[in-house]
Structure 1
Amino acid sequence: MRAVVLNRKIHRWAAIATALPVFVVVFSGAVLLMKKEVAWIQPATKKGVGHELALSFDEILRIAMTVKAVGIYGWADVDRLDVRPGKGLVKVRARNHWEIQVDMKTGEILQVAVRRSDLIESIHDGSFFHEQVKFWVLFPTAIVLVGVWATGVYLFFFPYVKKRG
């Protein structure tokens, strides 16, 4: 079989085999590019009045527990605390993808909103589907894409090289 025909077959079938994983990664990546611009994806960071943490973590937890809609009943419901001294706030990120922004000096709740960027990131890296997807689907897809790139470059330049030779 001629090299050009073999390259076309490899290129065509590899592109088909990687189409769905590539679509998921590219589409979710495109959405993530907009996370700072679109509040639906990630709530905008508000600004507090102080720049030093005047609240204890237990006080922050108690404040977060007052927002019943978020469903925080203890530390087990909190995914992480994101302390932003420059902005004067603490983001309490719940495991259920809600975010509460608390002024780090006064304890005032500045904003309560759903944070979808973490969910979209888990789709992007494959962990949403299963922890092993990144190793058994996305990594092989990346390797195959290198082959698609190489065969595509070969197929692009082959006519020019053939003309000269």
Structure 2
Amino acid sequence: MDKIKGKTWTFDKNIDTDVIIPGRYLRTFNPEDLAKHVLETERPDFTKNVQKGDIIVADENFGCGSSREQAPVAIKTAGVDAIVAKSFGRIFYRNAINIGLPVIISDIEAKDGDIISIDLSEGSLVNETTGESVTFEPFKDFMLDILNDGGVVNHYLKEKG
């Protein structure tokens, strides 16, 4: 999972966890049920059109708000392989890594449908549609291990043997 390439979905700033997965859907912990409603109030076309491997590119403060782990779970289950934003809500960032969803802090410009390539171990991000290239702090080996194992629980179980 060191390298990710996908089509972008763009979002503005301050997309909070209540927008990512509204509270009325939290009666279930089934990831597939949550994914059916992810970001539907912000982008009604998202759940119908998001595909495996897509990438979210957002402005600042993505995932602010409550600490609900269902927010990154719903995004990942919907098919998103990574989220790039200028900044993240601290707890959302941690929850995303914990479930194996890469989150990259960067200010790359993108429009819906652009193709983005990300190299987590090198710390490079390229918008292949526009040619813009930026760098970010590369992911440390232990974080790559967690992401490659599908999250911190899977990583722990793998390490425990």
Indicate whether the TM-score tops 0.5.
Answer: no
TM-score relative to the length of structure 1: 0.25
Structure showing greater Rg: 1
Identify, as 1 or 2, the structure richer in strand: 2
RCO higher in 1 or 2 (8 Å CA, sep ≥ 6)?
Answer: 1
